[in-house]
Amino acid sequence: MKKNLIWASLALLAVSSLALGACSLSSKEEEKIIDFILDWTPNTNHTGLYVALEKGYFEEEGVKVDIKLPSEDSSSDLVINGKAPFAIYFQDSMAKKLEKGAGITAVAALVENNTSGIISAGDAGILSPKDLVGKKYGTWNDPIELAMLETLVSEEGGDFAKVEKVPNTDANSITPIANQVFDAAWIYYGWDGIMAEEEKMDTNFFYLTDFEPAFNYYSPVIIANNDYLKENPEEAKKVLRAIKKGYQYAIEHPEESAEILIKHAPALEGQKDFVLASQIYLSEHYASNPDKWGEFDADRWNAFYAWAHEKGILESDLKDQGFSNDYLD
């Protein structure tokens, strides 16, 4: 009987160990963390992400997402190299990487239309692209950026070679314009444009799309690693479903959503009025139809890459490449 009790005890211990091991394994599986890399410091482009985090939308979908700033590598490189499944990036910047075979796909558009354009000091007299001739333009020295501006200037009969290019390395473009480092810069109105308004600066602004419809590309977008999407399609859908809920909430509740952003980005605490103004602007631009948030229009996507191919910026025809609506419900 004693022997039987010993064997019974050992059997019970083995079963318990297996159960504990199973629980431990299950716990580890449940604790899988999905990294999501921002393109820059937190701003109102990102509000829907933080709303999804704050409101528990990721938890509702059974996923755990960690929103991170980019490291020494760019957000796109981290995704391309498989170090993170998701990141924020831009359709225009994707062009050259896709041509080189980068394994990334844009899976959602954060903002429905391109809200970027050229802002300038009010006394610089820059009301259209040709007015940049003879002026100082703050540039990122990106080939596609410069090619786009050259197209806009030359189509109005201006000589782009006579636009003085000054490196733009500031955290925003408003301060160097105020300090007369350069006369004009390319900005996203929802951040730098609103900043200029809040600071009561005398400026002029025009959207790129006012002069070239092909420039209504998607910016910013959520990109994902292709191998991750292939191996984890349902998980990817859950992540995007939660994010979509976050942006839909931000569309309907800009004031509360601005507070949520500030809570998760305390560096913005001293800029509440500015953040709220920016949020109100962007909440009206995330999607004209909240049910369609994030979806790409193939014609619009292709129009920009067709322009880049026509101008010789791209050697390849990237028609229908680099984006998908398959992961959005």
Distance, in Å, from the CA atom of 192 to the CA atom of 209, rounded to the nearest integer, reads: 18
Q: Residue 20 pLDDT more than 70?
A: no
Side chain identity at residue 73, one-letter code: D
Average pLDDT over the chain reads 91
Give span(s): CATH 3.40.190.10, the chain. Answer: 31-113+218-310, 116-215
CA distances to 13, 49, 135, 328 from 177, rounded to whole Å, are: 72, 31, 12, 40
% pLDDT > 70, the chain: 91
Measuring CA to CA, how many Å separate 37 from each of 41, 183, 323? 10, 32, 18
Say what the alpha-carbon torsion angle 274, 280, 284, 286 is, to the nearest 10 degrees. 60
- 37 neighbors 87 (Cβ within 8 angstroms): yes
> What values do phi and psi take at 311, rounded to 5?
-85, 0
What pLDDT was estimated at residue 25? 35
Centroid of chain to Cα 148: 20
pLDDT for the residue numbered 61: 98
Cα separation, 79 vs 224, whole angstroms: 7
Q: Answer yes or no: is pLDDT of 153 > 50.
A: yes
Is the pLDDT assigned to residue 166 strictly greater than 70? yes
CA 193 to chain centre: 18
User: For 31-113+218-310, which CATH class?
Assistant: alpha beta
Helix/strand/coil for 35: strand
Fold of 116-215: D-Maltodextrin-Binding Protein; domain 2 (3.40.190)
Predicted confidence (pLDDT) at residue 214 exceeds the cutoff of 80? yes
